[in-house]
Structure 1
Amino acid sequence: MSGSSPAARLQRLFEGRRLTPTQRRIAHSMVRRAADAPFLSSVELAELAGVSQPSVTRFAVALGFDGYPALRKHLREVSPVDAADAADADGLEDTLNEYQQAVRAEIENLRQLSELLADPAPVERAGRLLAASRPLLVLGLRAASSQARGFGYFAAKVHPDVRVVDEGGSMLHDRVDAARRAGASALMCFALPRHPREVVDALAYAREQGLTVVTVADSAFAPVAAHSDLLIPAAVGTGLAFDTACAPMLMGRVLLEAMCDGLPEAQARLEDFDARAAARGLFVE
């Protein structure tokens, strides 16, 4: 385990566990602060996750440890980060203003995403699923609507039939039904906090109708995980008044790249678009 990042080691520790929503919140908080996790007290972790201290103890027991001290001892044994390094990092953070800290947090999110992509197999599988779906349904509501629209905008340049659903309501299931009747085999979902109940319900319904669900979410423990066939986590930043989503956006672009690999006509479509755009004088360059 020493060759992987602290976040990756934590993810493996939590994989396959049947955790309650509160325990998933604790796990998510630990992954977000992976380098600090071995040095957090139960009180500090509880405050970080917004739960009670007994909840942290129950979480450790659910993972198979005698209590939180045993979990923390395990994390220290498998982590290459020592307390001095953690203290130095904390000292640096203290010298940065809130805007710089938000940027630093996003850099860390991107670093974790890079570690995740060391194994390209899940992304490659997702690319094949999305490329093969005719039409391709793309879902993202509320905070995730911009991610869905951005993905859909670029996907439409290379995929013959992309349908973006970025508003909820009573028509949502109808849109799923229409896509399925037209031949859709996959649904691409962007799910970011706070997670709308409509998204969870829509994914459950889509799977009932036979669609394969590929999801980019802020955490492997997000509420949509139980209704996703393939979930790729990409953390959001929470240091500002509104969450920042650089990692989910980049993950969307990575999936577009993987999807293009599964579309033999993708390059020809892009060249055709460029030719028509030049003829129309579409861009000022």
Structure 2
Amino acid sequence: MDNDKQDLMRLIQVKFQRLSKGQKLIAEYILKHYDKAAFMTAAKLGNSVGVSESTVVRFANELGYTGYPTLQKALQELIKNKLTTVQRIELSNDYNSDVNALKGVLKSDMENLRATLEKINYKTFEDVVRCIFESKRIYIIGLRSSTALAEFLGFYLNLILDNVKVVSYGVSDIFEQLINIEESDMVIGIGFPRYANKTIEVLSFAQSRKSTVVAITDSLLSPLASKADYTLIAQSNMASFVDSLVAPLSVINALIIAVGLREKEKISSTFSDLENIWEEYNVYSYKNKEEK
């Protein structure tokens, strides 16, 4: 068992006898179902054990937290990288209808965007944009569910720059694709819980070659952040078997736009050429074309 988790569970056990009857019900529930409690609101947790929302708030205060959100965050930090897919599916059972799933997921994604706006470091963001232009080559890696994010970032940066490579599984091994990496290069690693070991290994390798390392991840406590010179935080909490990639994608969008704004003339020329190619080869449907 993780030491931090032991500490939190031990704290609840030590305080247990001094808790009120209602608070003891909360404590017992968290000790048995901490993975579910971490994603419940104070009202929902209270309803699950038959106590009021205010009792849940007082319980958090009794443990030394400033409020329930800080206790909830502590629980989430402990378990978010440990939940198996099966456990995530069980958490998804709270969405007991299609409409509830829609509302719940949209609200969760909006919260992730709001939290990201508050947490992200604007100076770091500017430094990352600067480093993109200063780097000789840019390598992007994101595996598992983060593959979509890496491909998206790579697709658009390749339209703006000519030194971008997305590293992925294929005919050659990932490290073979990085064999020529050097100090003047940059590696952007993208990863969210549960973090892919290979992504972490690639960032360590880049570190050993003294390349600039950028991590796009969910926390400064992330194993990707520990390997990075610059870390862009994007919240991805989702009580489901599906990872929430809305906030990370928004940060990546901002990164692409910030880079593009510095290369307006090149982008204009590139997209002008692409529009002609797309039309010539019928890449897109052109509704305004005259029907034959």
Q: Who is 1:109 aligned against?
A: 112
Deviations 1:211-231 (A, max 9, x none): 111111122222222111111
Q: How far is 1:165 from its partner?
A: 0.8
User: How much does 1:199 deviate?
Assistant: 1.2
Partner of 1:202: 202
Structure 1: gaps (5+ residues): 1-19, 27-38, 52-66, 79-92
Q: 1:135 to 1:278 in 2, by over 3 A?
A: same
Residue 272 of structure 2, aligned match among 257, 272, 275 = 275
What does residue 214 of structure 2 align with?
214
**Structure 2 unaligned residues grouped into runs of 5+:** 9-22, 38-59, 71-94, 287-292
Contact 2:219 2:234 in 1 (8 A): yes
Q: Which has the higher contact order (CA 8 A, sep 6+)?
A: 1
Write the distance in 2 (CA, Å) between the matches of 1:259 and 1:43.
51
The corresponding residue for 2:139 is 137
Deviations 1:44-71 (A, max 9, x none): 66644589xxxxxxxxxxxxxxx98453
Give the direction of change, closer, same or farther, for the CA distance of 1:170–1:208 in structure 2 (3 Å limit): farther
Q: Deviations over 1:40-98 (max 9, x none)?
A: x66666644589xxxxxxxxxxxxxxx984531x458x9xxxxxxxxxxxxxx999713
SS in 2 for 1:194: coil
Residue 87 of structure 2 corresponds to none
Structure 1 residue 244: Cα displacement: 2.0
Q: Does the 8 A contact of 2:260 with 2:267 survive in 1?
A: no
TM-score (normalised: structure 2):
0.63
Q: Could you say which residue in structure 1 is the equivalent of 2:192?
A: 192
Contact 1:102 1:237 (C-alpha < 8 Å) held by counterparts: no
The one of 167, 172, 175 aligned to 2:174? 172
State the match for 1:5 in structure 2. none
What root-mean-square deviation, in Å, do the aligned CA atoms of Structure 1 and Structure 2 show? 3.5
Counterpart Cα distance in 1 of 2:187 and 2:167:
10
Q: Indicate the residue corresponding to 2:122 in structure 1.
A: 120
Counterparts of 1:156 and 1:215 in 2: how far apart (Å)? 19
1:279 shift after superposition:
2.3
Q: 2-side partners of 1:229 and 1:245: how far apart?
A: 23
Q: Which amino acid aligns with 1:254?
A: A
Distance 1:284 1:122, change over 3 A: same
Distance in 1, Cα, partners of 2:153 & 2:131: 15
Name the SS for the 1:257 alignment partner. helix
> Structure 2 matches for 1:30-69, cutoff 5 A?
47-49=33-35, 69=62
Aligned position for 1:6: none
Q: Sequence identity, in percent?
A: 17
Is 1:71 paired with 2:57?
no
Residue 162 of structure 1 pairs with residue 164 of structure 2:
yes
CA contact (8 A) 2:181 2:209 kept: no
Amino acid at match of 1:231: T
Conserved? CA contact 1:188–1:213, under 8 Å: yes
Distance 2:34 2:171 in 1: 34
**3-state DSSP of counterpart to 1:97:** helix
